[in-house]
Each structure stands twice: as structure tokens, then as C-alpha cells.
A and B are shown apart, each in its own frame.
Chain A
Amino acid sequence: MANTINIFPSTETLSFAAEPVLEPILKTENLWKVYRTGQVDVPALRGVSIEIFPGEFVSIMGPSGCGKSTMLHVIGGLARPTKGRVFLDGNDLAAMSDSERTLLRRHKVGFVFQKFNLLPTLDAYHNIALAQHLHENGFDPHRFDVVANLLGLGTRLKHKPSELSGGEQQRVAIARAIISEPKIVLADEPTGNLDTKSSDNVLGILRQLNKDLGQTIVMITHNPDAAAYGNRVLHMRDGLVVDGANVH
């Protein structure tokens, strides 16, 4: 049976103020993801159970190959779990069809990637606006201006990604991720391709989004300094969360 997804964003158009909500915005129960390589099953996630509440900024740390990125893909609806359940804003991703997960990503998830993943043919303006155009609510010029100014992109909007620095590209990517007011922003090593100064800038922006606007953020990193920007750190190893899974 298809899940019903509330596709309409919050009525607080420009305010992300955190509210005291007891229900987690994201919850996984015994989450497994197994990849098949030839004849061999390779488990990337082996029963992950976590809860993330609205307004949290959670960092996920762990060595390469521990399943961090896989978990981000699964909780973001990009990949279907092999076993277990993922609830995002009350929607069970594991039970959703491909097109339902697409709809959920469009309305409830914002992604920020290590390699920025901006469309190279579009300038910064159109890269950001694209996310709004995909959204049923369409382009909102007022919100666009607010977000562009918040990210300090006012003078760089007519530039294509190839004409922007790494830090600028990542700020465009963050703007694209939050422009449609997602319930959660999933950042996969957002500073992995940046120098120290740009990294600090990007991490500062993420923290500002979380603190000032209450934006829920899950960030993958293997940099302890970057992880410290979050208010909770999960540690993963061998496909399992070994520390920080629960709010204390």
C-alpha cells in the first residue's frame, strides 16, 4: 500500500525555528543494506538503529568503508534498504516505491555532496532555482533572495560552477539543498574537497542554519574538527553505529 507523503512545506515560509517535538524526524530500525558483488554478499549496513530529532545537527564519523555514505543514501531515499525500516517525517521509506521515494526526496530532503554536484551547464542562479522548479510550489523569488543572501551568493549567481571556487560551489549546493525547506539536510563530506578556510566557512554556514533556523542536519565526515560543529556525533564501524546512536 502506498504511503501518503505530506508534500507541502511548513507554513513558516522563512522560519526554521525549532519546536519542542518529541517524535524523531528520522528513525531507523535494524537497518541493513547488502550489496551483491559477483556471488558475494557484502553488507554495508548491519542493523543500524538511530533516532534523529528535529533541530539536531548530527555528525556521523567513521573510517572509510564503514557504511557512512550508504546510510546517508538509504535515509535520504536514494537507495532502498535490504532489511529494516527507515522513517522520515513519519514516512516508511522501506515500504515506498521508487516514485514515492522520489517525491519524498523532492519535498523533505536536501542533499549536499562532497563533490558539490552542481549541474555544470547551469549558472549558480539556475542550479538553486532548479530545486524550486522541481517542487510543486514552484519558484519563489522572495525565498530565493533570502537564501542567496544568507549564503552570501548575491554577486556570484550568474557564474557557472566552473567559474566558482570550491567554497562558493558548496555554498550554492547548500542553497540548493535548503531552498525548498526540506525537513532534513543530508551532507556527505561537505568539506572533503575544500581548503581549511572554505571548510570553516561551509561548516559555519551549516551550524548557522541549524542554530538560527532550526534546520535538521546530518553530516558525514571523518574529520573530528568538522564533526565538532554538530551537537551530536555518531560513530560507525563495520556497518554499525557504535556510539552516539541515542540522545542522552
Chain B
Amino acid sequence: MIGHNVMHRPVRTLITIIAVAVEVTLVIIVVGLTSGLLSESAKRIEGVGADIMVQPPSASVFMAFSGAPMPIRLGDKLKELDYVQDVAPVLLQFNSVNGLDIIYGIDSASFRSVSGGFVFHEGHGLKKPDDMLVDDIYAKSKKVKVGQTLRILEHDFHVVGIVEHGKGARLFVELATLQAMAGASDKASVFFIKCDRPDRTPAVMDEIRQLLPRYEIRPLKDFISLMTSSNLPGLGAFINSMIGIAVAIGFLVIFLSMYTTIIERTREIGILKSLGASKPYIVRIILSETTLLCLAGIVGGVGLSFLCRTIFLDLFPTLTILITAGWILRAAGIAIVGGLLGAAYPAWLASRRDPVEALAYE
């Protein structure tokens, strides 16, 4: 009976399913985008290959939000510590032209020593002040080729190499050039430290804490676990807001759909009551239909999410959208709860219909 009822109005059913699917997609994609961004950033920073990252006091784990207040000579002091193999100072600059990117200003030699060096797809390393390296994903998405000039931060850079992605940023320039452009001479945003043995990392961190008591000292091994929405002010609220909007969409559409359904089916409710259907039975029918619609919407929403991800990644290859089983389940739960809440009042109304009036309904 439930299946027959749902199929009785195919257009309304389809619209309801689409609305639930959009709700599910909204949750999955918004969360996937934010967690994908965080996860991908974390992986890239881990991919630098250092063991420890040193940032100024109270610096955010999200490095793009950090300034450049550390004197570069701190790097020399860090290099003198026991078990430290090398220290790579990096200046970060945020670029918002043609998308959002972080530019690493690096000292080629120390960065190579700490990270193990770039894997070149094409071209060679930084040699001149205006040289720039881009990673393969950036090159593909922006159709950048070696020899091309890129105007970034009001400065013309010459792309001299395309490197394998995963070394912290997508764009790399000479440290001195970026310092000059940012007005941050002899400053660095972060020091990446390579220990001579990984098991010495805690000992080195203890030494650094003694040397720089208030500085942020983080092991890169656990960096992914630090990159969560709770560590970025406002991101959790943003995600919750988007989920709230999605739930509101599902709630309202299901409410309207079920409300019109029970108005349209007033006589049928009267028939059921004349046959001896109880109030809980009628509520159960409405809620079962809602659940069926939600389940169809969830299946559609999951499919739509993967389709959206494919389209987004095709259009914006630098994006990362992380779709996890956990969030698919949560989105499904959100859709079902929102749907059942939306159907609760119409179901209650239907169950309270007077059977004589319902049977007389035209």
C-alpha cells in the first residue's frame, strides 16, 4: 500500500525525492569540501617531509592565516640543536588571484635538504629571483606550461618547472623574492625541521620548547589530526549552518508534500478509518511513505554527490572533496530525521480526521 501510494503521484514523488537528494548532496558536498580542503592541506604539509614545524606564538595550525613575524636567524639557532639535520625557513603568502593558493617562499637548498627535493615532471629548480615552480595539479588546472609567465601578487614570475604535488604548496618562489614583495625582509612564517633520526623528534621538540618557550611546535607526523574544523574558528559554525539549511529544505519539502498528500487523501483516510484503521496505523502509513521517499532521496543524493564531485573536480582540479562513509550515514540520518519531523504534523492531522467528514470529502 505504501509503495502504491508513493507511486500514485509520480511527479510529486519525484520532486520530493529530488529535494531530499539535494539536501543530502548539500550536506555531503559542503562537509566534503571543507574536510577535503583541510585534509588535502594537511597531507601536503606532511608531504614536505619534515619532522617538526615551528611557528610563531599563537600561530594557527592553518598556516595561511599566519603572518611572518619570526626572524630568519632563528633558523640558525635551531640548526645548532642536537639531532637537527637541517632547518628550512618558509615564508607564506596568500594569493587570491585566479583562485585561492598559498605561495611558499623557499630557500631551495635547505628546502631540498628537509623535503628530499622535488620530483620534476618538467623543467628545473629555482635559479633566478623571478623563477617559479608550480605543482602538476596547478599546472593542469590552470594550463600552465614551463616557460610561461605568471603574474601573481603584481609580480611577473617565470615558470621554470612543474613538480609533483604534495610538498606543502602548489606554487614555490625564491624566499628572498617573496620577502621583498611582502616587506618581510629576513622573516619567515614557519621553520620546517628535519631530525637526523625520526625517533629523536620528541627530544628535539623539548629542546625547542626550552629555546623558544611560547612558540608553536608541532610534529608533522600528527598534522592531519590537527586539521579539523574545530581548529578553525567559524568553520564548525559554517558547517552546522549549512546542515541546518539542508535540514530546513528537507523538512519543508516533506512537510508540504505530506500535507498536500493528506488533504488529497482525506477520503482515503476516511475509508481506512471505516475499515477500522487506528490512529497509530494511519500515522505509521504516512511516516512509512516519508521514510521510503527519504531513502530514495538518500540514494539519489549520494549518487548526486559523487556526480557533483566529478564535475567540480573536472572544473576545478585543485579542489579536494572528501566523501566519507561516515558523513554519508550522517547525511542519511539528517535527511530521515528532517523528513520524519516534516511528516509528523500531517500524519497527526490525518490520524485525527473525523471519519464521517473524511468520507464526505470531495
Which residues of A lie under 8 Å from residue B234 when comparing CB positions?
none
A96 sits at the interface (CB 8 A): no
State whether the Cβ of A231 lies closer than 8 Å to any Cβ in chain B.
no
By a CB distance below 8 angstroms, the chain B residues around A113 are 274, 359
Q: Which residues of the other chain, B, contact A176 by a CB distance below 8 angstroms? A: 275
Task: Tell whether A164 is near chain B: CB-to-CB under 8 Å.
Answer: no
Interface residue ranges, B against A (CB under 8 Å)? 1, 4-5, 7-8, 267-268, 270-279, 281, 354-356, 359
* Selected contact of B277 from candidates A98, A102, A121, A122, CB within 8 Å: A102
Residue of A79, A122, A134 near B276 (CB, 8 A) is A134
Pick from B267, B275, B278: contact of A99, CB under 8 Å = B278
Count how many chain A residues have C-beta atoms less than 8 Å from C-beta atoms of the other chain.
27
User: Interface digits, A56-97 against B, CB 8 Å rule (1 contact, 0 not)?
Assistant: 000000000000000001001011000000000000000000
- The stretch of A103-111, A201-209, A236-244 that contacts the partner chain: A103-111
Residue of A nearest to B274 (CB): A111
Give 3 nearest A-B pairs by CB, closest first: A106-B276, A121-B4, A105-B276
Kindly list chain A residues whose C-beta atoms are within 8 Å of the C-beta of B277.
102, 106, 134
Pick the residue among B7, B272, B355 that contacts A78 (CB under 8 A). B355
User: Which residues of B lie under 8 Å from residue A15 when comparing CB positions?
Assistant: none
Inter-chain contact B275/A130, CB cutoff 8 Å: yes
Known: A117-B267, A119-B268. A130 touches B1 (CB 8 A): yes
Which residues on A are within 8 Å of B, measured CB to CB? 73, 76, 78-79, 98-99, 102-107, 109, 111, 113, 117-122, 126, 130-131, 134-135, 176
List residues of chain A with CB within 8 A of the CB of B272: 119
| A residues in contact with B273, CB < 8 Å | 78, 102, 105
Structural contact, B279 and A99, CB atoms closer than 8 A: yes
Bound together, the chains give a CA A22 to CA B272 distance in angstroms of 33
Report yes or no: B8 in contact with A120, Cβ–Cβ below 8 A: yes
Most buried by A among B8, B271, B273: B271
From residue B261, how far is it (CB to closest CB) to chain A in Å?
11
